[in-house]
Amino acid sequence: MECTLQFHYVLTANILFSLVTLVSSFAISFHAKTKPIHDYLLIQQVNEEYHTDTNNDLPFAHQTALADGVFIQASEGRGMGVFAALPIPKGAWFGEYAGGILTKEQVERRYWEIGEMNKDDEKWIQSRELRNQTMTGEYLFDVGNDFYIDGEDLEKSSWGRYLNHASLEEDEKNGTNFCNADVEEIPENWEGDVFIPPRLFFVALRDIEVGEEICFNYGDYYWEGYEDMIV
């Protein structure tokens, strides 16, 4: 199944490269001061949750990648990675780390085994298990104010979950130039009685060329106890 999905996506990536003009018309704005508004072309929104189009067999993350002008493929020595299918200019907002929004209390109960689970937690876990989704907690992004974006669920998370780590400090020390993206947070908000969840976007630190892998700094907190795993 994994090989089949990779095969389908390689074909899609090749088509994407040959139809740059067409894809770019659907990608979000590259203007540095423009907050992107996503139009994930092959995705349906049902009851406030995103689901892949039943007529399309691409995983959700690959669909969002196609819409944003990037593609997912193997990264040497690092599993999967994200690569630019279109030129990305410095300062551009070019994609979003999308996934489930969890409170700190939900994260503690569901991932860290702190506190007593309620029925919603049990339903959440059952859904993950029935859909063969992992629950490692390795894709949590702390966006402040006790909110987290959970990018682990493959059926509900964007391509941002596949971005690999690189740091400006390591680049400067080693004379490399791998860290080419950073994150920009938009905090949660209320419009009357309507809750607007926090969002996290990727911003280009420099011009990113077509075919170049996109990487950002995971932060020191992510690597605590795992420093020997940093690639």
Residues 6+ apart with CB under 8 A from 105: 115, 146
Query: What pLDDT, on the 0 to 100 scale, is given for residue 55?
Result: 53
What's the pLDDT score for residue 222? 53
- The pLDDT of residue 231 is 43
Reading the chain (231 residues) residue by residue, the pLDDT tens digits are: 434 344 344 444 444 434 333 333 334 333 333 333 344 333 344 444 444 444 567 888 999 999 899 999 999 988 999 999 999 999 999 999 999 999 999 999 999 999 999 999 999 999 999 999 999 999 999 999 999 999 999 999 999 999 999 998 888 888 889 999 999 999 999 999 999 999 999 999 999 999 999 999 988 655 354 344 334
The predicted pLDDT at position 3 comes to 40
Write out pLDDT tens, residues 33-43: 333 334 433 33
**pTM for the predicted model, two decimal places:** 0.73
N-terminal to C-terminal alpha carbon distance within the chain? 28
Strand order in the sheet with 164-165: 93-96, 199-204, 181-186, 215-216, 164-165
pLDDT confidence of residue 219: 80
What are the φ and ψ backbone dihedral angles of 115, each rounded to 5 degrees? 90, 175
What lies within 8 Å, CB to CB, of 224 at 6+ separation is none
CA distance 189 to 59: 30
Query: Tell me: the pLDDT tens digits for 169-178?
Result: 888 888 889 9
Q: In this structure, which amino acid lies at residue 4?
A: T
